[in-house]
Structure 1
Amino acid sequence: MGAIFGFSGPPDPDLLGRMGAALSHRGAATARTDAAALGTLAYRADRADRAETHGAGLAVDAAQDAALALTGFVLGDDAHGEGDHPDAATLLSRYLERGPAFCEGLRGSFVLAIRHGERVTLVRDGLGARTVYWGEHRGRFVFAVEPKGVLAVPGFPRRLRAAALAQYLAMSFIPGEGTMLADVFEVPAGSWLAWAPGEPARQHRWFRFEEAELDPAEADATPAAEWVERFREAHARAVADRLRVAGPGGVAFLSGGIDSSVVVAELQQQLDAPLRTYAIHFGEGYPHELPYARAVAEQVGTRHEEVLVAPGDFLPRMRRIVWHLDEPIGDPVAMPNFELARRVAGEARFVWNGEGGDPLFGGPKNLSMMLHHWYGGVERGPGFRERMYLASYRRAYSEVERLLTPDVLREIAPERDLEGVLTPFFEAERPRLFLHKLLAINMRLKGAHLILPKVERMLAAHGLTPLSPLFDERLARLSFAMPAGLKLRGGVEKIVLKEAYAGRVPAEVIARKKSGMRVPVNFWLQGDMRRYAKKALGKRALRRAGIFDPARVKQLLDYRIDEGPGRYGLRLWMLLTFETWRRMVLEGEAV
């Protein structure tokens, strides 16, 4: 865990200090700065962080007036073969030889910032494990790994983007290069962005896992057992690559689902000592997966512990949690992520997880879209697939017009701001298979803008670095090369994971259907959190802000809406998260 940030133009120690202070939670023990006449790059991290000593840092080539900052870790460069583990200095040399194309073989969890004369280039890793944001203000280009670093620039505008609010309500996150703020932008996963004075910022996608897709006949020509073995080998290598960075002392989150179970099984096999694993639950009477996690821990031989998370644990820290998220993310799993990270912070620097199984290998949420694709019958008109996909999130897509005030709605065009986000994926020439189009949406949007940033921020708040071996560039390409039937078939999801680890994880874990971590916000918001929610979403505050319709919000608070009761809590949670963020970021309330 570390940070890079900087700006174009002449050195400004005050600005540099402000941006660094805003990111001090990401490491303050060391700092290196390249303050040239035409731009400034800064890098900081804690000395004890292995990830930030594994090639990360700042490299300068004074002769060519260039510098490169790397935060995170580069696992390898496929353009230079196995065993190539470039550090910041090597990467700078390769950039000076090839330009931005140098990054096309990189694997890992990283952000690069490069200054070459007046030009600044930002590079984000292939699947989006790390983030980088940018904006322009008073002639300066500014960037940082979190939005709060950009907002530390004095006078930087803080204007709400209505389209992003609609996207947030529909998906619980903000997809693509836009953010909740009109003047702050995010570099998409697997992309680089180049900026120079007097030129528009230029963006290019360099990691294209979609191009690995084979024609179905070609994919089927390889026996299924061989594809399963290729997955097993690639996953083992993904774990080994990250062990080289982390060393043997990490811990793992073990939910009892197939994804975290295969990661723990593979990791334990590569370790000499028992791994420490942790499972979350929410107390007696709430759904949980503890028996499955216990079964995995017992079979593979980990030291297992169960952690209780309840509103009394996180409510006093709710504002701090949202501050660390830095963009409103309406997934309540952020809270147990934060609390579990807080629990293990003194025991390890790295935390392994099973994130990535659904986006890369076909989770069950694709089933409704696939059923329509197979059996949908007559074409329903333009935008029908997009609207179906948005509805499949089961967030507040149907609530957008009822929740937002007329003034806000006037700034939103659903065809452009909601359906239009998805249309390029459905209409793209590659990938061709409909399931692969769904996976590409999941990986490029939910994976890169919700799953990975949420976990990274919640762990970074406690000085921890996440390791997600299923979110691996080689595994992404492999997924798109193998037949679709090894991912999703007959209502069974992630078949290749289950076949690869049959016998190595308990049979009941392989056989069970996915349930996911069901955070009981629906119950909490009728009980322990009810008073908190009514105060935060009070009529007077909502009217003053002019964003949400107080009458509709009251119906939600009273659990009086048309849909089943399971959606009340999630929608209220999304509103709570947004309102907490808005008051801190737009109104300047204290954390």
Structure 2
Amino acid sequence: MCGICGFAGFEDEKLLKDMCSVIHHRGPDDNGMFLDSGIGLGHRRLSIIDLEGGHQPVHNEDETVWVIYNGEIYNFLQLKADLVSKGHRFYTSSDTEVLVHLYEEYGDKLVHHLRGMFAFALWDMTKKRLLLARDRLGIKPLYYSLTGNKLLFASEIKALLQCEDIRPSVNVAALHDYLTFRHNLADETMFQGVHKLMPGHTLTYSGGSIFISQYWDVPAHGNNEFTEDYYVNKLRGLLEESVRIRLMSEVPLGVYLSGGIDSGIITGMMSKMVDEPIETFSVGFGSEGQIGELSQAQEAADYFGTNHHEIVVEQGAYAKYLKDVIWHNDEPVADPSALAVFLLSKMAKKHVTVVLNGAGGDEIFGGYISYKVGMLNNRYHRLVPGFVRKGLVAPIVDSISPHLPSKFYVGMKSASHEITEHGFLFSKSVFSEEDKHSLYTGELDSRISHDSFNKATDILFNNATEKFGNRQESLLSRMMYADTRSYLVDHILLETDKLTMSSGIEARVPIIDHNVVEFACSIPDSLKLKGMTEKYILKKVGKDILPKATQQRKKRPFRIPIGTWFKGELMEMAEQAMDDSVIVREGYFKPEVIQDIMKKHNRSELLYNHKLYALLVFEMWSETFLER
């Protein structure tokens, strides 16, 4: 586990050193560089496997292929044995070296042989060609920027910003989407000219040009009808294997335990595979957290006999650490729970270097309430004729719309018109299109040329429609696909990687092992959302693993008392930030509209908490990166 950075098309040793230095936190144990004509590869290492011999960059036998890599290849021992049988010679015991020999054997198709999480850069000296690759689910990040014929890449954007050719400025299209969804979409970032390499993609650079190719996607959901027991037993076996291979480490491991089903199953499986008690870590918020999530996590920890550690995040922590969270995230993500991951990782680092967590369970097995709402809405569209919806319901909605908050209005519109995808996306939104255009200055408004909902529908649902066919029959699959390719990658996994690595912690996510995901896609929708029971098949797997209270507990979101905190120190922080606001000074937003949002928040906090938080995060991101 580490951070990678580098460039192609020019030479600059000082720049490479600066890029490595700024991501020191990702790899405090070691660093390495490779410089040659037209290439620079930099690496920061967090030692987990082959502590003595895993120095990077790593090369092949004749030093014509070089690689730097961030991640873990869980099947590297099998791959190594096969490569040795084919005549390849290894000089390290690390998983990194299999990449150069796989490339010699299979070329760019080496990615199909890898099981794990990874982002790597591989330089072929003979062909003067650079290959970048990112893992199938996007667990590890990889950013790039092409200026002229110069390519720069890194695990974190802040490394790219060390190049004077990249002047930090706002990507207004990404800003427009961020205000709606709290994160950016697809390959865009908030930095103009900086892109993400998408999950399951490779990028090749040669002769000043780049070519991007997709090698994997979440597969189409199958229509196989095996017995329920078959799916339960098969899934249990795959999850056990996924947990087992993620215990590969020469340093201490632990689990982030929430008290829910996903992390509980991982903890239960892991506890049967190790001899010593597991180190588990949980976080709560103030007194609410202590009687809520923390008590549930403690209950599970007692059941599994773990060495349990917990931390309570108080309101004052935002003023102290929010800028650090934004700095490490690189991209603005308007998620109040990010601070919890940041502080939890600080605590966990005192005990372990690797943690497993339950990320992905909701997206892969159907755990969000928005799926229930979407399916009910879909059923309503089927049962109520269009002329009734449009002739009776729509006029009522239109007549009362001036008196409704925009989110309620669009949500009701989705019930009276056939815009199921918009209704689903709106359940995840903060600002509506109308809200945003009223917030923007005339200059910014003139630069916006798209509707965020149409854009997200195009990227996520139209692609899914091509994959899954009939819109009505496969709505649940398409909603889960959309969340897996967007919310999971650009929100949850982004924060998981950046905020664990901020403390030198490696996070492993067994639920989104690609073998598990591919099998999950073959499970019928009726065994994911059965009636109104979410994650039905996963709960069946957990029946013999979890304590009864965890099995019977209704799902509820991870609760953050943001409303309470916006009545105290967090509101003072927001007022101070907006008082001398970069986003106003730079001509993005109308100051009177921001003030109006703050006033309305005081009268109706439930409707404005996340709007205000999204503005605060963007303001602090602007202060951090635009005024550096």
Q: TM-score, normalised by structure 1?
A: 0.91
Q: SS at the partner of 2:74? A: strand
Shift of 1:500: 0.8
Q: SS at the partner of 1:111? A: strand
For 2:371, which of 366, 370, 380 is the aligned residue? 366
CA–CA separation in structure 2 for the residues paired with 1:18 and 1:343 = 29
CA–CA separation in structure 1 for the residues paired with 2:582 and 2:95 = 50
Mapped contact 1:251–1:277 kept (Cα < 8 A)? yes
For 2:118, which of 105, 110, 132 is the aligned residue? 110
Shift of 1:478: 0.9
- Name 1:583's counterpart in structure 2: 623
CA–CA separation in structure 2 for the residues paired with 1:95 and 1:382 = 52
Mapped contact 1:296–1:506 kept (Cα < 8 A)? yes
Shift of 1:9: 2.7
Distance change (3 Å), C-alpha of 1:10 and 1:282: closer
Mapped contact 2:67–2:123 kept (Cα < 8 A)? yes
CA–CA separation in structure 2 for the residues paired with 1:476 and 1:330 = 27
Distance change (3 Å), C-alpha of 1:422 and 1:207: closer
AA aligned opposite 2:593: R
Aligned pairs for 1:100-249 (under 5 A) are 100-116=108-124, 117-199=127-209, 201-211=210-220, 213-214=221-222, 216=223, 219-220=224-225, 222-245=226-249, 249=252
Shift of 1:189: 1.0
Mapped contact 2:51–2:250 kept (Cα < 8 A)? no
Deviations 1:352-411 (A, max 9, x none): 211111111111231122222233246789992342232110422353223333322222
Percent sequence identity over aligned pairs? 25
Distance change (3 Å), C-alpha of 1:102 and 1:382: farther
CA–CA separation in structure 1 for the residues paired with 2:490 and 2:581 = 32
AA aligned opposite 2:172: A
Shift of 1:101: 1.7
Deviations 1:254-289 (A, max 9, x none): 111111111111111212111122222212256722
Determine if the alignment matches structure 1 residue 445 to structure 2 residue 473.
Answer: no
Aligned pairs for 1:383-462 (under 5 A) are 384-397=419-432, 399-412=435-448, 413-414=450-451, 417-430=455-468, 433-462=474-503
**Greater mean deviation of Cα atoms: 369-378 or 59-68:** 59-68
CA–CA separation in structure 2 for the residues paired with 1:227 and 1:183 = 45
CA–CA separation in structure 1 for the residues paired with 2:82 and 2:430 = 44
Deviations 1:218-264 (A, max 9, x none): x21x11111001111111111101001366x3222211111111111
Shift of 1:28: 4.3
Distance change (3 Å), C-alpha of 1:97 and 1:250: closer
Shift of 1:83: 9.2
Shift of 1:544: 1.0
CA–CA separation in structure 2 for the residues paired with 1:63 and 1:297 = 51
Mapped contact 1:23–1:149 kept (Cα < 8 A)? yes
Distance change (3 Å), C-alpha of 1:62 and 1:36: farther
CA–CA separation in structure 1 for the residues paired with 2:530 and 2:31 = 51
Shift of 1:63: 4.8
The number of equivalent residue pairs is: 579
User: What 5-or-longer segments of structure 1 have no aligned partner?
Assistant: none
Aligned pairs for 1:156-555 (under 5 A) are 156-199=166-209, 201-211=210-220, 213-214=221-222, 216=223, 219-220=224-225, 222-245=226-249, 249-285=252-288, 288-364=292-368, 365-377=370-382, 384-397=419-432, 399-412=435-448, 413-414=450-451, 417-430=455-468, 433-538=474-579, 541-555=582-596
Deviations 1:310-331 (A, max 9, x none): 1223421221221011110111
**Greater mean deviation of Cα atoms: 234-243 or 513-522:** 513-522
Distance change (3 Å), C-alpha of 1:246 and 1:465: farther
Shift of 1:525: 1.1
CA–CA separation in structure 1 for the residues paired with 2:423 and 2:258 = 29
Distance change (3 Å), C-alpha of 1:130 and 1:14: same
Shift of 1:93: 2.2
**Greater mean deviation of Cα atoms: 121-130 or 404-413:** 404-413
CA–CA separation in structure 2 for the residues paired with 1:336 and 1:28 = 23
Aligned CA RMSD, in angstroms, stands at 2.7
Shift of 1:474: 0.9
Shift of 1:180: 0.7
Q: Which of 1 and 2 has greater Rg? A: 2
